[in-house]
A and B are shown apart, each in its own frame.
Chain A
Amino acid sequence: MTITPTLDGVDQEISRGKRIKGSGPPANGPRRRGWIAYIFIAPAVIYLAVFVLAALAKGIALSFTDTRLLNPSGGNFVGADNYKGLITSSQFWDSIAVTLVYTVATVFFALIIGTAAAVLVNRPFRGRALFRAIMTLPYAVPTVAVTLIFIWIYNKESGVLNMGVEALGFGQVGWLTDPSFGMISVVLTTVWKVFPFVMIVMLAALQSVPDELFEATRVDGADGLSAFRAIVLPHILPTVRIVALLMTIWSIRRFEIIYLLTGGGPVKTTNTLVINIYNSAFTGQKLGVAAAMGVLGLFLSLGAAVIFSFLERRGAKKEGVA
């Protein structure tokens, strides 16, 4: 899984619509026109055209065929059959629903925990650097190692989580085998892995909030949380929106954690769209159907981007920034 960081300028440019036409930062003086720019940008563009666009085109072509895994270059044209099959398949819609639940839960909890952690270590105190370093550690742990650790923590008979649960007087929980707990376990692992990213970015946003505003939240008798909501939150809201967009896109894309923890189970309760695509292609061996699912899945990411760009615009209007 890529721990891809920010989309940097571009998502801002896209969401603001017009800036993408290259009205560069004025501080940099004039921009030059010139064919030489094409030479500099060509390797990146050609590369993406070959490895991403061509693959995408190939995927769209595959989606209209009955290609099987064992003969990836064969396969006959079957028209829209794959799409018809998917739209009437309840398993496909279930996996869309699972993706939505997973995405909303992950983004929600990662934002809350990551922001709370950022607020906590934003105030100066002794040992703050150490706490910051410890809290960002999960970001650096490779995802596959993360899943191995959590599989052992979640182990039903000997895992430390059930040791704790039993000490509290409850019975053993099948964290990865009980259909009521599979999603919870997957979300918890994901949140552990990604909350440091939220924390790092929110910390940077909080540092741009003037000190006096924080002072205001510390006035005697003021309820800390409501003061935070009224005074600090509006300042960091634009950052929250961008982080939420990134987290949403990554949640829709996320593969390793779910694939290795549950493989989509138990009883398909964590069978997100990308897991469904992968299993259809490489277990079910139906490349054509999997490709069609991928094409339909693109609309999910696109929908998320459209919703956020709408929120962004509305928010910008409200704040009078536009």
Chain B
Amino acid sequence: MRSKHPVRESLIFLACVLFAIFAAFPIYWMINTALSTDQELYTGQSLWPHLERVLDIPAFLSGSPAFAWLGNSAFIAFGTTFLSLIMAVHGAYALSRFKFFGKGAVGFLLFATQMLPEAVIVVPLFAVFAGFGLLNNLYGLVLATTGFIMPVALFILKGAIDKVPFELEESARVDGCPRYSQLMMIIFPLILPSIAAAAVIAFFDGWNEFLFANTFISDANHWPATVGLASFIGQYSTPLNVVMAVAFLFTLPAIVFFLILQREIVSGLTAGAVKG
């Protein structure tokens, strides 16, 4: 569309710039802070980042436990993604392709999980996990986190399977293809974009998980990056630029992932929320 009203068009463009600044500034400020010295931070932080210091970052991170934390976060994120997707693919297939007694109850159970605050569940779960020795244990965190994100993955995949024409499986069945192979050989490849979306959303959830980890993990060796980063709050022995550098290191994979898979994530997010 050609712009017909130059003044109006430039006002709209200006509004876009303001929104973009609003969205980007805190991220920019994290990077700027990571590249400042303590001295500068408390005497007036420069608005322009000291980009020449980027190469110093690895040096001052070398002694910090940041990489161990990131490793723990990666373990939780991959574990949560793997466990959620296995259950979600099969569950979504059942909900999309079959009628069965109790289906309404299953749908309600999945929906109800979404309404439940984690902070409500964490109290009794703490009591349960204490009994099973699952406190201070990364597997316990994977188990707890999966309970909250698996239903989301399941709904995304159910929506995707709903769109696969039934006739494809029907003809395969006539050819003698067993039911499980129909799911794996026919449906699975067709819903790969949605699986990618569900995987990234589950991964983000595990990567971001804080509440369960903060409650269940007291051993600092098992901290994920979320709990490690939060431990910097209110303690002044770690310089702020190091804190922000670790925060940035933790943010970077999420942003890169997001930018690469933006199309899939957006379609996953909007699949059910938009009607028509």
Contacts and interface: CB of A to CB of B under 8 A. Distances in A.
Interface string B42-54: 1011000000000
B156 A5 contact: yes
Contact of A149 (B30, B94, B151, B204): B30
Given A8-B159, A47-B87, A200-B266, A24 B96 contact: yes
Contact of A53 (B88, B109, B120, B201): B109
Interface string A154-180: 000110100100000000000000000
Interface string B63-83: 000000000000000000000
A146 to B, nearest CB: 7
B271 interface: yes
Most buried by A among B115, B155, B215, B259: B115
> Interface extent on A, as a size class?
35 or more
Given A44-B90, A192-B26, A291-B124, A142 B130 contact: no
A277 B123 contact: yes
A51 B125 contact: yes
B271 A8 contact: yes
Nearest to A224: B8
> Interface SS of chain A: helix, strand, loop or mixed?
helix
Given A3-B204, A59-B120, A298-B120, A144 B33 contact: no
B116 A52 contact: yes
Given A3-B208, A8-B272, A200-B269, A255 B162 contact: no
> Interface SS of chain B: helix, strand, loop or mixed?
helix
Interface stretch (A31-39, A76-84, A225-233): A31-39
B127 A135 contact: no
Interface residues of B, number: 119
A22 B96 CA distance: 9
A107 interface: no
Contact of B208 (A2, A31, A163, A208): A2
Top 8 nearest A-B pairs by Cβ distance?
A8-B272, A8-B155, A37-B98, A294-B120, A140-B258, A40-B94, A44-B91, A274-B119
A208 B274 contact: yes
Contacts of A148: 30, 229, 232-233, 243-244, 247
B42 A158 contact: yes
A139 B258 contact: yes
B139 interface: no
Contacts of B44: 158, 163
A249 B114 contact: yes
Contacts of A298: 115-116, 120
A153 B255 CA distance: 21
20 contacts: A2-B205, A7-B152, A8-B155, A8-B272, A29-B165, A33-B98, A38-B100, A48-B110, A54-B128, A56-B116, A58-B127, A136-B262, A141-B254, A145-B247, A163-B44, A201-B274, A239-B273, A253-B117, A277-B120, A305-B115
B188 interface: no
Contacts of B118: 2, 253, 255
Contacts, number: 380
B166 interface: yes
Interface in B248-276: 248, 250-251, 254-255, 257-259, 262, 266, 268-276
Contacts of A243: 273
Contact of B166 (A30, A54, A121, A143): A30
Contact of A255 (B211, B250, B266, B275): B211
A187 interface: no
B275 A6 contact: no
Contact of B107 (A20, A124, A305): A20
A297 B270 contact: no
B137 to A, nearest CB: 14
B152 A29 contact: no
